[in-house]
Structure 1
Amino acid sequence: MILHLFRRMINLEELTLSIFVQERTLIDGTSLYNEIFVYMSRLNMFNFWICTDNMINNSIHHHLSEDDIQQTFTNIIFQQVECIINHFAHISQYHVFSLPFMFSCFDYIGNTFPTVIFNYVRILRVQDNVPFEHEFFIRIACSFPLLQQLTIKNVRPQSSLPDELNSNDNQLYSIVNYSYLISLCFEIVHHDYVEQFLDDTKHIYLV
């Protein structure tokens, strides 16, 4: 149904699209070009975030790399494109999006994400099958500088906790500041993450 609507918008010059699709094959650059862009000859700006997930056993794409997926966007000349791949217990999840990322919410990312500044994101949910170490939360604070709501989902304990001191009594771990955070949700987590955010000695500050 949505494809038919796009194909009728032949005079459209700008398009902003955010879509989450379950139980289907990966929506990549080739799919977008063949199913949408060939019908929109006047389109000159396309801001998008497309998330596709599928059961790993049902997906023919679960061995693709981020570079493989980005190569399919060579015909899309409007903006730079980034890709994030998550493999959870039984699900492969693919995020493809244009830069700069223009949306206020991002669900779900894990330990692997590009070195990009997401200036518009206010709501973020993070999830992974491997632990979130202290360095991960440093990267989150740097990449999402205006973050207001953070949801954490991870049952794996951290392999190293940020409470050690070196021989000069200096903290080994950098202090992490979330200056705009007003909501913190521990959805399904190991207690390490609760302690890291709520214990002042763990070097994460909500200021």
Structure 2
Amino acid sequence: MSCLEKLTLYLRIDDRNRFIDDTHLENEILVYMPWLHSFTFYICTYMNVVDLQHNISNKDIQQTFTNIKQQPVANTLHSIHGNKIVYSILSISFEFDHLEDIGNTFPNIKCSYVTYLLIQDVVPFDHQFFIRISQNFPLIMNLRIMNIYSQSSLNLNMFATENNQLYATAVYPRLISLDIFCAHHDYVEEFLNEKKTYVPCLTQLRVVYNDLRIVTKNFTREETRRNCANIKRLILITQLAHTKDFYLYFPLL
């Protein structure tokens, strides 16, 4: 591939003893492609914390790509469940429609093609993070959230009252499917309370039944009714017998 001028690469690699970083890309890919002038990529490496061998800086990565004509490069490093570190490097602009395992450290960049997104972290996500996600991923249709830690640990008081108008509502105009089964019930509140998030096209929801019951106040709460009204498929974990209020809350089931 010595004559290759354009390359698009999407990789997710688990159980390595070293991250795929700028040095690896230079020695294993770029050195063999002297004519490469367009390199669009997303490379995500998962590694156990006990195997971490070296530190990585964005400055080092940026130096690798100064000789090819392309958009700037971003990197992100965060922890996930299972005692693992996720390290990602990506070109800007991001041209893929599928993105997994981003966390709080994901850079503030526009990902205009992404329709499926998985976010995961051991640090709680605050409301402003979801505002940023809604703005930077305008075409997102499928969202999965994995975070078992409560937002209350962030000591935020942005929603001390239901009528607080000082903070923007996150709007996901194309979101169809939401999976919050592996998330703290704070994120059920985050997405179903219309004062925090508006999801007009949401038709599929995967959630723990008891979390849903608590957040909706036994399927009577008005602030969460509108975001549930269009759901046609409800995947419940540990469900109980449905009540009349339940069926009124989900009229399209």
- Give me the TM-score of the superposition, normalised by structure 1: 0.85
Q: Are positions 1:59 and 2:55 aligned together?
A: no
SS in 2 for 1:188: coil
Q: 1:6 aligns to what?
A: none
Higher strand share: 1
What displacement does 1:71 show? 4.1
Per the alignment, residue 11 of structure 1 pairs with: 3
**Number of residue pairs aligned between Structure 1 and Structure 2:** 195
Would you say the 8 A contact 2:7–2:36 is kept in 1? yes
**Alpha-carbon distance between aligned partners in 2 of 1:31 and 1:74, rounded to the nearest angstrom:** 16
Q: What is the CA–CA distance in structure 2 between the aligned matches of 1:183 and 1:162, rounded to whole Å?
A: 26
Q: Greater CA deviation, 52-61 or 68-77?
A: 68-77
Q: Which has the higher contact order (CA 8 A, sep 6+)?
A: 1
Please say if 1:123 is aligned against 2:119.
no
Match of 2:176 among 175, 182, 191: 182
Q: Which structure has the bigger radius of gyration?
A: 2
CA contact 2:117–2:144 (8 Å) conserved in 1: yes
Written as runs of structure 1 = structure 2, the 5 A alignment for 1:109-188 is: 109-159=102-152, 160=156, 163-165=159-161, 170-188=164-182
| Aligned: 1:78 with 2:74 | no
RMSD: 2.1
* 2:198 aligned partner: 205
Separation in 2, partners of 1:73, 1:39? 14
- 1:99-110 to structure 2, matched below 5 A, reads 99-110=92-103
Distance in 2 between the 1:86 and 1:171 partners?
Answer: 32
Alpha-carbon distance between aligned partners in 2 of 1:40 and 1:179, rounded to the nearest angstrom: 41
> Quick one: structure 1 residues 47 and 71, their matched pair in 2 at CA, closer, same or farther if it must change by over 3 Å?
same
* TM-score normalized by the length of structure 2: 0.71
Counterpart Cα distance in 2 of 1:65 and 1:183:
35
Larger deviation, residues 171-180 vs 149-158: 171-180
* Pairing 1:192–2:186 present: yes
Equivalents in 2 of 1:72, 1:42: separation in Å? 15
Q: Is the 8 A contact 2:158 2:164 kept in 1?
A: no
2:231 equivalent in structure 1: none
8 Å CA contact 1:15–1:47 kept in 2: the answer is: yes
Cα distance between partner residues in 2 of 1:13 and 1:49 = 18
Per-residue deviation at 1:162? 5.3
Q: Is the 8 A contact 2:38 2:68 kept in 1?
A: no
Aligned partners of 1:75 and 1:42: how far apart in 2? 11
Cα offset, 1:59, TM superposition: 1.6
The 1-side partners of 2:68 and 2:84 are apart by: 28
Secondary structure at the counterpart of residue 187 of structure 1? coil
Name the CA distance, whole Å, in 2 between partners of 1:105 and 1:162.
31
Secondary structure in 2 matching 1:100 = coil
**Could you say which residue in structure 2 is the equivalent of 1:4?**
none
Cα pair 1:29 1:75 within 8 Å, conserved: no
Gap runs ≥5 in structure 1: 1-8
Instruction: State yes or no: 1:22 paired with 2:14.
Output: yes
Structure 2: segments with no counterpart, 5+ residues: 201-253
Q: Distance in 1 between matches of 2:164 and 2:48?
A: 46
Shift of 1:198: 1.6
Cα distance in 2, alignment partners of residues 96 and 67 from structure 1: 12
For residues 93 and 72 of structure 1, the distance between their equivalents in structure 2, rounded to whole angstroms, comes to 20
